[in-house]
Structure 1
Amino acid sequence: MWVHPEEVLQAGALWITERANPYFILQKRKGHGDGRGGLAGLLVGTLDVVLDSSARVAPYRILYQTPDSLIYWIIAHGCSRKEITEHWEWLEQNLLQTLSIFENENDITTFVKGKVQGIIAEYNKNHDVKEDDDTDKFKEAICTFRKLFGMPEEEKLVNYYSCSYWKGRVPRQGWLYLSINHICFYSYLLGKEAKLVIRWADITQLEKSATLLLPDAVKVSTRLAEHVFSVFLNINETFKLMEQLANIAMRQLLDNKGFEQDRSLPKLKRKTPKKVSALKRDLDARAKSERYRALFRLPKDEKLDGHTGCTLWTPFNKMHILGQMFVSTNYICFTSKEETLCSLIIPLREVTIVEKADSSNFLPSPVSISTKNRMTFLFANLKDRDFLVQRISDFLQQTTSKIYFERETTGSGSLLSSSPQRSSLGSEGSSEGERQFNLNDNSVPTATQALMTMYRRRSPEEFNPKLAKEFLKEQAWKNHIAEYGQGVCMYRTEKTKDLVLKGIPENMRGELWLLFSGEANSRTRSHKQSGVVIVTTGGKTHQILVLGFPKPPFVV
């Protein structure tokens, strides 16, 4: 594999020169290949496995050196003799004669470095590889992983960690490789090799254990055996990734679908750590989106775009609450630093205006967001206000067409609709427990109606005190809606939770369940799946209206 030219030392004690010419040197590292190179080879092979990743290098490499210089440049490395031989032959056939024309050593070095970088750029372009996808070290680890365990090109390595594997009562220091479908371990100590390959789908239990002998260990259980790994540099990060990969494998079994990498991740503006691959970034982004969806009960395809610290002005107690703002493709959400203080969900389909308010010493960098139901939310103390407003504006443009579609397909007389029109909960009209009488009706003279008929009760249930309790619950919810807002955009506080625990009135139960369970958001998305299906049977054509209502959470 061609690599960006990098200065190296020609360590003769660790490398064996197999081929050489005036400009290039092909070397093999001791401790690799047949026989392992005696005692020195055993020691070098052990060092490559045990020491830090900076010492773990490919077994073959090609160096460039000008005749009158002591500086060497590594321009290619390989995991197999066949791969490195192909690069060597290409250099002999295409560059040797050209380099002999140059008279200046600096010109030769510039030409060789430019040629190698051009080859890498052309390869990335032809194979649709982004420059920031993986570092050279990680590509080298991928090459080693596939060679050691015989993995195909389709098997993607996520990350690798240094650890010890307890084989019996003896720890074997080596490297743990975590890929999409497998957990693998490799160790080579003084001529003794140990390999372990386990499919994530075969794992029955994954747990962290802490004993006096092994304070930080991970136990991986299958139907046939138990495997213990310890001495991790960061056990929490490793275990979290192992859990995530095991869960992905289980979902693949249930859904009968393969893993697809998310190609919509934004390109990083700063350098990433050397061992963080593009696939690891993808999995980290998925984990954050899953936590975000679970926190606010959002649809399963909602992707978190970013979050930032801010304050929210709450009109019900006239305070600025410290918390976090989350922005995704279709929602703006807020949760307070104190978990039970306040939370907020603002669908972008309900947003009408997003604007920057005037800053002051008391209210720095504020942003005002207005919705269709005439509610205004004031956020402040935003670090990058201009970028945030621009990002929200971009998402609003994407949802414009969706808003018009929903206006045609959904009604507005519901608690779930945040339109200015009255809903069944916010109206002050008649309810099931109230009686209305038209005393000015001229069809029947009032004087002829008996008092029993005029003031009769609808049913004997009105004598039951349960009806009075339901009426009090309904009044409490109406007062709460008047103070904290109505619909999906309402302020959700500890008082809201207390009202739910005390009980929801019968005539509000359906709509409030949709609101607090998150089904209101899923139902809005499901309207896109509605349509007319034309079916022809027996020479006759039938039109069937298909309504895309979501499945309740308990339906598998």
Structure 2
Amino acid sequence: GLLVGTLDVVLDSSARVAPYRILYQAPDSLVYWTIACGCSRKEITEHWEWLEQNLLQTLSIFENENDINTFVRGKIQGIIAEYNKINGIREDDDTEKFKEAIVKFHKLFGMPEEEKLVNYYSCSYWKGKVPRQGWVYLSINHLCFYSFLMGREAKLVIRWVDITQLEKNATLLFPDMIKVSTRSSEHFFSVFLNISETFKLMEQLANIAMRQLLDNEGFEQDRSLPKLKKKSPKKVSALKRDLDARAKSERYRALFRLPKDEKLDGHTDCTLWTPFNKMHILGQMFVSTNYICFTSKEENLCSLIIPLREVTIVEKADSSSVLPSPLSISTKNRMTFLFANLKDRDFLVQRISDFLQQTTSKIYLEKNISGSSVSSDDEVFTRSSSLISASPHKSLSSESEGERQFNLNDNGIPTATQALMTMYRRRSPEEFNPKLAKEFLKEQAWKIHFAEYGQGVCMYRTEKTRDLVLKGIPESMRGELWLLFSGAINEMATHPGYYEDLVEKSMGKYNLATEEIERDLHRSLPEHPAFQNEMGIAALRRVLTAYAFRNPNIGYCQAMNIVTSVLLLYAKEEEAFWLLVALCERMLPDYYNTRVVGALVDQGVFEELARDYVPQLYDCMQDLGVISTISLSWFLTLFLSVMPFESAVVVVDCFFCEGIKVIFQLALAVLDANVDKLLNCKDDGEAMTVLGRYLDSITNKGSTLPPIPHLHSLLRDDVEPYPEVDIFRLIRSSYE
């Protein structure tokens, strides 16, 4: 009995879970078929009675054994298929073996039915100095282990929310070991068949548990999983597939700055023909519900985002030895992208066609709702007319002086149709101005880049694009390129009229968020003329209030007003709203909620980076408590509140292009430049004064903007001026 129990646990036998089975075996065969199984005598008896009434009586009409075999197997398979159809069970649902594991999991650990098992793995658990061979069960809320060896039972249950650290360690005895730490104990697991998969799933489930804790929301399984290829192995549970798909979709959305509801359908290796250097670049193509994307294997070499709303033609080109399995994709702005070396081209084209059909239907529906008509089905399929008639990226030059400053929709809701900077830019004298000449050269460089690499959302994004951003975006192109690099252009294009509707619904409504917004409106960049009158203040009020109504979980947080006021200077009001959405919900998640959790997490990351990159300063900074002040003032406002305006907007340029890593890099570069002074500081006040004076001295000599007095510089005493620091040189040094 002890031996059987031990073997049952070690070998994952299902005999203890489903001890009753009905088998079908022909007289002259050694093979038997499992017809039914059950956990109790009552359950299996019900199956037997059904067979007696519906199947056994029919067998007498057949003359030979082969006909009986064919009939029984066909009948049973038909019954299973019909049952699955009625009960909504899909082909790729959990296997019988996994269902048995679920029963065992609930039985062994006394878990409620709603606790979902994700996967289970064979491993050893070290209890004292003796390893216990058994199975680790990973569910949505718990990590569990069970072992039964020669009469000795070992059972462990840990909630994910109680885990403080997960580590994958290597020792001399065991090259692969997972250490699970809680506040009160440490647990070690080893001898995994696939330690990487196990550890990755553990990390994911721990993160999900923390997210549930922060958002106070339960876990909901996603039933609309990506379609499986015919050859795909079916070895994992539907829930494990769900979590794998979520993780891949999250990485995909972050890589290409896509809307947060975009789901990755699949990816494949391929090559992309790049006309700017006449090469076939090796990389991966990603296909999702609304986008086709590409990134090169070599980092920063080339990436591409093609929204399906922009696609006009997808066609298979003729294969050749030079160009095997090519696929050509054409867009509305007359760009054609040539992919090749696609392994499963027919399956890929079918998936893209399916998604194109769905996109077409959406556009057709939206056009009908807005009152426009479509003349033929062909016109709908090729989508020659754009979803948005006037693209926000159509013109690079500033808008004409005669254009109206406000747009009134049917309900008379005003929204600013110009970036505030175009209305309040002070005109320079007519004589030659070296700064204006330099700005003109920047604009020309970008226009040449667009001519070579394409313009708009479908442009080839390369290292040269990033280099141009690091040299500073021209004033007239800033809003357009912020929209493009942040991905806000995609959300804006797929939600026409959304912002105006929000403004209409939120006008005249009052709550805690609107009270806080009103209090901070006149503190938002008050030194800039755009916010010294009601026009700029009203635009800022509308954007912040509309966002508070869109996302009540965040509502309004201090620092959002400073960032939004800068967005309004360079982007139209609706564009500024979508930039704020991209910032709060994708690029800086959880930064602007009531507990600023995202900023606090990044504070922890920054501490780790500071320990690695400025180790001589780390202990001193911990003693002075400088890091917490840095993360909340520098990070939350993207340096806008601590650096001269014309320099800080260059940081925002780089942030929209490269993401949060720019802020980490820049913060480390500032600390590195002030190591000696900070080591001599006696308290946190002195340290912050040193850093404040340094940040005040960061200049942008090439800026065409009139100098805007900065708060720190206004309050500064008569101490000798700090040597000027060039913002572009500082950014370059932060990358180095």
Equivalence map 1:100-139=2 (5 Å): 106=65, 120-121=80-81, 123-139=83-99
Q: Is the 8 A contact 2:36 2:47 kept in 1?
A: no
Query: What residue identity is the alignment partner of 1:328?
Result: S
Alpha-carbon distance between aligned partners in 1 of 2:489 and 2:55, rounded to the nearest angstrom: 69
Q: Distance in 2 between matches of 1:394 and 1:101?
A: 45
* Map of 1:308 onto structure 2: 268
Residue among 307, 315, 339 paired with 1:379: 339
- Give the superposition deviation at 1:475: 2.5
What residue identity is the alignment partner of 2:19? Y
Q: Does 1:174 align with 2:118?
A: no
Change (3 A) 1:278 1:238: same
Q: Does 1:491 find its partner at 2:460?
A: yes
Change in Cα spacing, 1:62 to 1:397, as seen in structure 2 (3 Å) is: closer
C-alpha deviation, 1:113, in angstroms: 5.9
Worse-superposed segment, 544-553 or 216-225:
544-553
Of Structure 1 and Structure 2, the greater strand share is in: 1
Per the TM alignment, residue 346 of structure 1 is displaced from its structure 2 partner at its CA by 1.0
Aligned-pair CA distance for 1:352: 2.1
In structure 2, the CA distance between the partners of 1:157 and 1:374, relative to structure 1 (3 Å rule), is same
Measured in 2, the distance between the counterparts of 1:90 and 1:55 equals 19
Q: Which residue of 1 aligns with 2:306?
A: 346
**CA offset digits 1:189-233 (Å, max 9, x no partner):** 111112112222222222211222332111122223222211111
Return the letter of the residue paired with 1:354.
V
Displacement of 1:144 after TM fit? 0.9
What is the deviation of 1:396?
Answer: 2.0
Q: How does 1:407-556 map to 2 (within 5 A)?
A: 410=388, 412=390, 414-415=392-393, 421-424=394-397, 458-459=427-428, 465-527=434-496, 529-530=498-499, 531=501, 549-550=577-578, 551=581, 552-553=583-584, 554=588, 555-556=592-593
Determine the C-alpha separation between the residues in 2 that align with 1:496 and 1:524.
23
Distance 1:66 1:376, change over 3 A: closer
Q: CA deviation at 1:364?
A: 3.6
Q: Counterpart in 2 of 1:58? A: 17
Structure 1 529/152 Cα, relative in aligned 2: closer, same or farther at 3 Å? farther
Conserved in 2, the CA contact under 8 Å of 1:298 and 1:518? yes
Offset of residue 139 of structure 1: 1.4
Could you tell me which residue of structure 1 aligns to residue 104 of structure 2? 144
| Aligned 1:311-390 pairs, distance under 5 A | 311-390=271-350
Q: CA offset at residue 123 of structure 1?
A: 4.3
The equivalent of 2:199 in structure 1 is 239
Contact kept? 2:38, 2:44, Cα under 8 Å: no
| 1:184 partnered with 2:144 | yes
Q: CA deviation at 1:45?
A: 0.4
Q: Tell me what 2:174 maps to.
A: 214
- Going from structure 1 to structure 2, the CA distance change for 1:168 and 1:78 (only over 3 Å counts) comes to farther
Which runs of no fewer than 5 residues in structure 2 stay unpaired?
368-384, 402-425, 510-541, 551-576, 594-736
Contact 1:99–1:108 at 8 Å: present in 2 too? no
Task: Give, in whole Å, the separation in 2 of the partners of 1:124 and 1:261.
Answer: 19
C-alpha distance after superposition, 1:318-340 (max 9, x if no partner): 22222222211111111122222
Report if aligned partners of 1:132, 1:267 keep a CA contact under 8 Å in 2.
no
Tell me how far 1:59 sits from its aligned partner: 5.8
1:528–1:399: structure 2 CA closer, same or farther, 3 Å change rule?
farther
The corresponding residue for 2:43 is: 86
Shift of 1:177: 0.7
Query: Is residue 163 from structure 1 mapped to residue 123 from structure 2 by the alignment?
Result: yes
C-alpha spacing 1:113/1:400, structure 2 compared with 1 (3 Å): closer
User: Residues 415-443 of structure 1, C-alpha deviation per residue, up to 9 Å, x if partnerless?
Assistant: 2xxxxx54438x9x99xxxxxxxxxxxxx
* Aligned-partner Cα distance in 1 for 2:82–2:354: 33
Change (3 A) 1:108 1:89: farther
- Deviation, structure 1 residue 65: 7.1
CA positional deviation for 1:379: 2.2
Asked if 1 retains the 8 angstrom alpha-carbon contact of 2:92 and 2:234, the reply is: no
Structure 1 unaligned segments of length 5 or more: list them: 1-40, 416-420, 431-456, 539-543
Instruction: Give the letter aligned to residue 201 of structure 1.
Output: V
Aligned residues: 474
Does residue 1:391 correspond to 2:351, yes or no? Answer: yes
- What amino acid is the match of 2:300? T
Contact kept in structure 2, 1:77 and 1:84, CA below 8 Å: no
Q: Which amino acid aligns with 2:392?
A: S
Query: Alpha carbons of 1:151 and 1:112: their partners in 2 closer, same or farther (altered >3 Å)?
Result: farther
Query: How does the TM-score come out when normalised to structure 1?
Result: 0.74
1:474 counterpart letter in structure 2? E
Change (3 A) 1:458 1:345: closer
| CA distance in structure 2 between the partners assigned to 1:473 and 1:196 by the alignment | 63
Q: CA deviation at 1:235?
A: 0.4
Paired residues of 2:327 and 2:338 also in contact (CA < 8 A): yes
Is the radius of gyration larger for structure 1 or structure 2?
1
**Could you tell me how far 1:478 is from its partner in structure 2?**
2.1
Corresponding residue number in structure 2 for 1:277: 237
Using the alignment, how far apart are the partners of 2:267 and 2:451 within structure 1? 30
Distance 2:343 2:488 in 1: 33
Cα shift readout 1:220-249 (whole Å, capped 9, x = no counterpart): 222232222111111001001111112222
Bigger shift: residues 281-290 or 517-526: 517-526
Higher helix proportion: 2
Number of the residue aligned with 2:259: 299
How much has 1:274 moved relative to structure 2?
6.3
Task: State the Cα deviation string for residues 86-109 of structure 1 (Å, max 9, x = none).
Answer: 313653686399859977894887
| CA–CA distance in structure 2, aligned partners of residues 235 and 498 of structure 1 | 40
Cα 1:153/1:114, change in 2 over 3 Å: farther
Distance 1:337 1:537 in 2: 52
Letter in 1 for 2:390: S
Decide whether the 8 Å contact of 1:363 with 1:380 is kept in 2: yes
Residue 387 of structure 1: how far off its partner (Å):
3.6
**What pairs with 1:251-266 in structure 2 (closer than 5 Å)?**
251-266=211-226
Look up the equivalent residue of 1:489 and give its one-letter code: C
Displacement of 1:392 in angstroms is 2.2
SS of corresponding position for 2:171 = coil
Letter in 2 for 1:85: K
- 2:187 match: secondary structure: strand
SS in 2 for 1:132: coil
Given the two structures, how large is their TM-score scaled by the length of structure 2? 0.57
How far the C-alpha of 1:384 sits from its partner, in A, is 3.6
CA–CA distance in structure 2, aligned partners of residues 360 and 42 of structure 1:
65
* Change beyond 3 A, Cα 1:318–1:204: same
Aligned-residue Cα RMSD (Å) equals 3.8
Shift of the 216–260 alpha-carbon distance from structure 1 to 2, 3 Å rule, reads same
CA contact (8 A) 1:43 1:190 kept: yes
List per-residue Cα deviations over 1:12-41 (Å, max 9, x = no partner). Answer: xxxxxxxxxxxxxxxxxxxxxxxxxxxxx1
Distance 2:336 2:75 in 1: 59
Amino acid at match of 1:476: A
Asked whether the equivalents of residues 206 and 243 of structure 1 are also in contact (C-alpha less than 8 Å), the reply is yes
